Amino acid sequence: MKWFELFSVAGATLVSAVTIVVLYALGVRLTAIAGDVRNTPPSWTRPLSYVCFGLCGLAVLFGLYLIIPYFHK
Residue type, 32: A
What pLDDT is recorded for position 41? 82
pLDDT tens sequence across 50-73: 999 999 999 999 999 989 989 877
Instruction: Look at the chain and report how many structural domains it folds into.
Output: 1
- Domain presence at residue 69: yes
Would you state the pLDDT for residue 40?
82
Residue 20, domain member (yes or no): no
Q: Is 56 a member of any domain?
A: yes
22, amino acid identity? V
Q: b or e along 43-72 (b: 16 or more beta carbons within 10 Å of the residue's beta carbon)?
A: eebeebbeebbebbeebeeeeeeeeeeeee
Q: Which domain holds residue 65?
A: 43-73
Q: What pTM was estimated for this model as a whole?
A: 0.84
